[in-house]
Structure formats: structure tokens, C-alpha cells
């Protein structure tokens, strides 16, 4: 468990849990699920001594639940936010997907597929990065408590920056602005987590563009239908995840507004609202992008089946024309194949050539008729 005391232009790392809340600044207490699960009651008592706030039992249970969705709740003493962040390569070994199912995450970013431990589905590499894990934030008057899996890139990066602050000179500290409140630090962490979703837009778009080109390629039939179905499932999970995140952040915004004591919003509170609106806008962008990708898949599938149906119609039209051309020729050959003793042209030396010429004239006349009726379309003209 890492504990930092953050005040004006000063960061101090505390090795042991303090016995009282700080008089100035605020505490950032960072813990993992394993640390809490080892002894939940002892951890809650330590937090109560350091902050003067007792965490309720249901929230303590939520803190160690790896499948908890994005959620917000509040009491008279603190607010609780659970935000599902992306679990990128190098994060926890056992993570959960966007729907909360247990998943084994790939450790090779360039691998073609990832196998789900629960449903044994094979997910394309671009969509395998949608595995998520919950991060709990407890917002108190002079403390921010974070609870997450064994490794979190966002938490680790913020922790390293604060450690750098501890070693910087006073002049360097004035050049960089520290978080001014637990709410400020909370929004910085959530904003960094949301930006990870924004970074997924390009690989997701590239993956779906490849599928769209494969769907519309007339030279090779599309066979990767299971991967396409899995992509739709993952995008639907991402859409549901973003909706849950947006609702949680919206309730967090209402909590910030409702806890304002003064009649007018202070400048610090106004800055927090600007930050939280920016986070909500980023979540909305991810949500809209997921919906656009899902709509693109639907459109590509519909175009694919339309192209297949059009190609089938072209083949059937060609076969129908060929059949129509040979029907009169078959009739003529059938007539001359009758077993009659006396038939016109049968014993004529020029009868064979007259029959062949007649058959050729019939074919040419039918081709001209089909061309005039536009039953046969020139492929070159069609392409133009």
C-alpha cells in the first residue's frame, strides 16, 4: 500500500498509515485487491484512523469484486466511484472483459488472436485489448483512496510522477502544478484511463477496414465469419461499458455540484466541473465510435450479401441466355433425328449446310434480339 501526502508544491511519501487526517493537503492511499482481501477488517480500520471515515461493509465488498461494473454511490461521509479501465499488455494476468467475464489476456500485442478462458472464442488482436478491470475510488474530505488489481499502468505512472516530485528542487516544483484536492487527482486518473480507450480507435478501425475489404472482394469468398461475429459482440460490450461509465461520471458530477456549500461555484469547483465535462466528452466519443464501427460492420455484411446475390443473378442470367440459344437448335436436331423414311433435306447433298446455316442465323438473330432487349449487358459498359 502506497501513501502520499500532497500539499501545496510538496509531496511526501509516508511509509506507515497515519493515525489522523492531515491538517493541510490531502492523502492519496493506493491499495490492491490482494492487500485488502488478505485482511479486509484491518485495512478498513487503518483507513478509518488515517481519514476519520468508516467505510461501509457493502463498499468494502465492492472494493475486492473483480467483476463489478462502472458505478457511483455516495454516503454522508464519502463518495465511491468504480471505473472499469483497460487492462493493457503488461497489466494483471487474469483480467475481465468489458462484460465482466473472466478472460486470459494476451501478452503479445502482435499476436493474431486471443482465446477466451470462459467461452473459448478466438478474438482478433485489435479487439483483445478490450479486456478491462475495475478501479475503485473513495473520495473523502482530505483523502483519495484507490483500489485496483496488482498492476495498473495509469496508477503506476501517477505514482512515479509523485515520487519524482519528492526528489525535485523547489524551483522545479513550482514549474509543475500538483493536484489541489482529492477530486482533482481523481479526475486526472480517470481522464488518463479514458484516453486509453481513445487510443484504441485507430487499431479497431484498421481491423474493421480489412474485414470490409475482404467482404467485398469478389475473387475470394469471405470465411472469417466467427471472428466477425466476435467483433460485433466485443463492440457491443464496449458500447455497454461506455454507457455505464458515462452514467457513473454523470452521477459523480451531480455529487460534486450537490456537495457545494456556497451559493456560488468557486473557481476550484468550476475547474473540477470543466475537467469532469471533458472526461464525459471523451467517453461519449468512444461510445459514438463503437456505435459507428458496429454500424459499419452491419453495412459491410449487408453489402456483401447484396454483392453475392447480384453475382448469382448474373450467373443465372448467363445460363438462361445460353439455354435459350440452344433450345431452337435442340429442336432442329431433334426433328432431324426422327426415324422417318422421307424428310426434306435429308437426302439433299446441301441439306447439312443449309441446316447449319439456318441454326447459325437463328443464333445470331436471337443474340441481336437479346441485345436489343438488354437481356445481355456488355461488361465493359457496365464497368463504365
Residues 240 and 352 in one domain: no
Identify the band that residue 176 occupies on the pLDDT scale cut at 50, 70 and 90.
Answer: low
Kindly report, residue by residue over 221-259, the tens digit of the pLDDT: 777 777 777 778 888 888 888 899 899 989 988 888 877
In a domain, 333, yes or no: no
Nine-digit cell at 293? Answer: 464501427
Which of 171, 172, 150 has its CA nearest to residue 161?
172
Domain-located, residue 326: no
- Considering the domain architecture, whether residues 46 and 144 belong to the same structural domain is answered as yes
The answer as to whether 330 is a domain residue is no
The reply to whether 342 falls in a domain is yes
The answer to which of 91-95, 326-330, 360-364 has the lowest mean pLDDT is: 91-95
Q: Counting beta carbons within 10 angstroms of the beta carbon of residue 356, is it exposed (0 to 12), middle (13 to 18) or buried (19 or more)?
A: exposed
Residues 191 and 141 in one domain: yes
Confidence of residue 169 (pLDDT cuts 50, 70, 90): low
Give the pLDDT confidence score for residue 25 in this predicted structure: 84
- CATH number of the domain where residue 367 is located: 1.20.58
CATH number at residue 34: 3.30.460.20
Q: Check residue 168 and give its pLDDT.
A: 63
Residue 369 has pLDDT above 80, yes or no: yes
Residues 236, 348, single domain; the answer is no
Residues 133 and 177 in one domain: yes
Same domain, 56 and 111: yes
With a CB cutoff of 8 Å and minimum separation 6, the contacts of 173 are: 9, 10, 165
Residue with the larger pLDDT of the pair 375 and 146: 146
Residue 328 lies in a domain: no
Report the distance separating Cα 335 and Cα 344, nearest Å. 11
Say whether both 365 and 222 belong to one domain.
no
CA dihedral angle for residue 342, residue 343, residue 347, residue 352, rounded to 10 degrees = -160
pLDDT of 121 strictly over 60: no
Q: Which of 113-127, 218-232, 296-310 has the lowest mean pLDDT?
A: 113-127
Q: Are residues 154 and 291 in the same domain?
A: yes
Query: According to the model, what pLDDT value does residue 81 have?
Result: 92
Asked if the model's pLDDT at residue 272 lies above 60, the reply is yes
**pLDDT above 60 (res 178):** yes
Q: Domain span at residue 225?
A: 2-307
What pLDDT is stored for residue 167 in this prediction? 66
Q: Given this model, what pLDDT does residue 379 score? A: 46
Separation of alpha carbons 5 and 12, rounded Å: 5
Cα dihedral 99, 104, 110, 112 in deg (nearest 10): -80
Residue 22 CB contacts under 8 Å (≥ 6 apart), including other chains: 5, 7, 142
* 331 against 116, higher pLDDT: 331
Out of 291, 307, 323, a domain closes at: 307
Q: Does 357 lie in the same domain as 302? A: no
Residue the block writes with cell 461475429: 229
The overall average pLDDT reported for the chain is 78
Per the structure block, which three cell numbers stand in for 32? 490492491
- Report yes or no on 312 lying in a domain: no
Residues 256, 273: contact at Cβ < 8 Å?
Answer: yes
For residue 179, being part of any structural domain is answered with: yes
Q: Residue for cell digits 509543475?
A: 176
Q: Is the pTM of this model over 0.75?
A: no
Number of domains observed in the structure of the chain: 2
Average pLDDT rounded to a whole number, residues 295-314: 81
Residue 253 shares a structural domain with residue 360: no
Does one domain contain both 258 and 358? no
Residue range 65-116, pLDDT digits in tens: 888 899 999 888 889 999 988 875 434 444 454 444 444 333 333 333 333 3
Q: Cα–Cα distances in Å, from 292 out to 210, 279, 287, 297? A: 16, 20, 9, 9
Residue range 339-346: mean pLDDT, rounded: 79
Asked whether residue 332 is assigned to any structural domain, the reply reads no
Same domain for 105 and 186 = yes
Amino acid at each position: 500500500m502506497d501513501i502520499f501526502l500532497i500539499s501545496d508544491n510538496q509531496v511526501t511519501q509516508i511509509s506507515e498509515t497515519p493515525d489522523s487526517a492531515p491538517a493541510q493537503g490531502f492523502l492519496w492511499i493506493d491499495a490492491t485487491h490482494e492487500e485488502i482481501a488478505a485482511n479486509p477488517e484491518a485495512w478498513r480500520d487503518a483507513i478509518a484512523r488515517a481519514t476519520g471515515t468508516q467505510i461501509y461493509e457493502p463498499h468494502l465488498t465492492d472494493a475486492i469484486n473483480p467483476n463489478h461494473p462502472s458505478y457511483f454511490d455516495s454516503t454522508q461521509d464519502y463518495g465511491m466511484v468504480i471505473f472499469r479501465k483497460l487492462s493493457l499488455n503488461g497489466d494483471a494476468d487474469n483480467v475481465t472483459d468489458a462484460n465482466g467475464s473472466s478472460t486470459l489476456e494476451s501478452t503479445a500485442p502482435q499476436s493474431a488472436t486471443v482465446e477466451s478462458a470462459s467461452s473459448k472464442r478466438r478474438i482478433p488482436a485489435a479487439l483483445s485489448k478490450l479486456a478491462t478491470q475495475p478501479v475503485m475510488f473513495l473520495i473523502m474530505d482530505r483523502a483519495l483512496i484507490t483500489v485496483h488489481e496488482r498492476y495498473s499502468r495509469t496508477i503506476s505512472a501517477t505514482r512515479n510522477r509523485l515520487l519524482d516530485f519528492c526528489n525535485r528542487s523547489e524551483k522545479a516544483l513550482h514549474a509543475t502544478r500538483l493536484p489541489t484536492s482529492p477530486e482533482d487527482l481523481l479526475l486526472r486518473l480517470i481522464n488518463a484511463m479514458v484516453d486509453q480507450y481513445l487510443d484504441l480507435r485507430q487499431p479497431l478501425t484498421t481491423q474493421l477496414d480489412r474485414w470490409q475489404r475482404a467482404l467485398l472482394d469478389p475473387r475470394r469468398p469471405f470465411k472469417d465469419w466467427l471472428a466477425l461475429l466476435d467483433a460485433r459482440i466485443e463492440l457491443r460490450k464496449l458500447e455497454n461499458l461506455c454507457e455505464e461509465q458515462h452514467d457513473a461520471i454523470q452521477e459523480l458530477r451531480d455529487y460534486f455540484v450537490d456537495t457545494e456549500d456556497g451559493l456560488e461555484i468557486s473557481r476550484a469547483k468550476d475547474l473540477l466541473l470543466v475537467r469532469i465535462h471533458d472526461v464525459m466528452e471523451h467517453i461519449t466519443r468512444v461510445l459514438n465510435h463503437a456505435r459507428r464501427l458496429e454500424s459499419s460492420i452491419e453495412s459491410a455484411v449487408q453489402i456483401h450479401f447484396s454483392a453475392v446475390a447480384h453475382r448469382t443473378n448474373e450467373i443465372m442470367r448467363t445460363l438462361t441466355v445460353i439455354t435459350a440459344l440452344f433450345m431452337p437448335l435442340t429442336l432442329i436436331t431433334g426433328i432431324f433425328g426422327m426415324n422417318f423414311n422421307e424428310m426434306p433435306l435429308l437426302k439433299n447433298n446441301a441439306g447439312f449446310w443449309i441446316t447449319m446455316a439456318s441454326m447459325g442465323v437463328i443464333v445470331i438473330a436471337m443474340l441481336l434480339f437479346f441485345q436489343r432487349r438488354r437481356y445481355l449487358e456488355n461488361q465493359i459498359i457496365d464497368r463504365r
